[in-house]
Amino acid sequence: MADLFGTDGVRGKANTYPMTADMALRIGAAVGRYFARADGGHRVVIGKDTRLSGYMFENALTAGLTSTGMNVLLLSPVPTPAVGLLTRSMRADLGVMISASHNPAEDNGIKFFGPDGYKLSDAVEAEIEGLVQSGVELAPASQIGRAKHVYDGRYRYVERVKSSFPRQMRLDGLKVVVDCANGAAYRVAPEALWELGAEVIPVGVTPDGTNINQGCGSTAPQTAAAAVVAHGADVGICLDGDADRVILLDETGKVGDGDQFMALMATRWKQEDRLKGGALVATVMSNLGLERHLESHGVRLERTGVGDRYVVERMRQGGFNLGGEQSGHIVMSDYATTGDGLMAGLQFLAEMVRSGKPASELMHVFDPVPQMLKNVRFQAGQTPLESDAVQAVIANVAETLKGQGRLLIRKSGTEPLIRVMAEAEDEAVLTASVDAVVAAVETAVST
């Protein structure tokens, strides 16, 4: 059995290993057995996004969990951060989110949250994987768990998100485009913005099971950008399929990524003496320009591996309260246990109201160092990064960039891709560096 868990739970194409109904049932039984309590008070909450396969995996996981005595509370479509929140507030032993985030509709995934509302560690996932492989003891017939729907989960989440917004502040007079990617936030995001007083132009709010992230959302902000311009909106908020990340648009439709947002919030919180530990936690993918900007304002940048769970782990270890990823995962631990795109969007709107500045000014906090990212797809069983020829090219390029930029090569944790990223002030050097590594990896893949 190949490794089940990637950088963010289990993920793959629906009805293809590991994302089959049979495997979901086995995973449900394994995780149910792992989190079973001696007193028999077992409770798990399950949320999902709007993918057609979500129904299949919800039922399979429920069967596995109840077979080990877990009582299941079904939340229906809610954002990933809502699962983290409700796991804690409902005193559950476990939270499960069925989603492949920003991936296409044919993909799906399973993410787990512990009773504290935080994603599970690598060590715990390894133990669960061991239980999947070995099989688990099922509960006696008299102790099989029950399942029921919880219909107010989204309303609880909306209230929690609104509580992170300054109580004395409203969004009256602001016209906001919100693109929900036909995903999990298609109801909660427009509702929260409207209740706070904004004029809301919703995009991507007609999910049909197959159109999640399709030409909309944080990975395709062009649709929302066109809406911003057409409606004369003040700002655009683009969420992904499970609403744990956000990409912002200014009044001209220009994109602002997670690095710019984190720079804005880190310097603001530093001024207000709210930035715990005097540091921002981000991944190795964040731009070198962000690091230089933070240094000029007396803020450290703590880098982690790619994945918001690793950002959260470092935040918890160091007692930091702000972190995130360039891709738009923003973690504010004073309010939430994981990335929350809607909550981050509200914080940006609060800064617009507080400062009276347009989105375009707040969205350009620093000049990024030119950055290029290219992906090379490989087949199962291939290990192109272990090739001596590839390693030689990587070493040569890294030496070339020394002192003027940086090179990052990594294997994706969610797709069969090698990601080649570089930064350099000289764009000709940048292009040549990335192309050299990509060519070497492509050669290794094709031989």
Length of the chain measured in residues: 447
Alpha-carbon 313 to chain mean position: 14
Is 1 buried (19+), middle (13-18) or exposed (0-12) by CB count in 10 A?
exposed
Cα 444 to Cα 390: distance, rounded to the nearest angstrom: 7
Query: Which residue matches tokens 């001696």?
Result: 38
Instruction: Please state, in angstroms and as integers, the Cα–Cα distance from residue 113 to each residue in 3, 47, 108, 121, following that order.
Output: 19, 11, 17, 9
CA–CA–CA angle 41, 43, 48 (5° rounding): 175
Instruction: Please state, in angstroms and as integers, the Cα–Cα distance from residue 210 to each residue in 74, 105, 189, 207, 403, following that order.
Output: 21, 5, 20, 7, 47
Q: CB–CB of 36/171 below 8 Å?
A: no
Please name the amino acid found at residue 15: N
Q: CB–CB of 322/332 below 8 Å?
A: yes
- Secondary element (H or E) of residue 6: strand 5-6
Cα-Cα-Cα-Cα dihedral of 246, 248, 254, 256, to 10°? -80
- Positions annotated as catalytic residues are 101
- Secondary element (H or E) of residue 237: strand 235-239
Going across the sheet that includes 5-6, the strands are 5-6, 9-13, 107-113, 94-98, 43-48, 71-77, 147-149
Residues in contact with 441: Cβ distance below 8 Å, sequence separation at least 6, in sequence order: 376, 378, 384, 385, 390, 418, 420
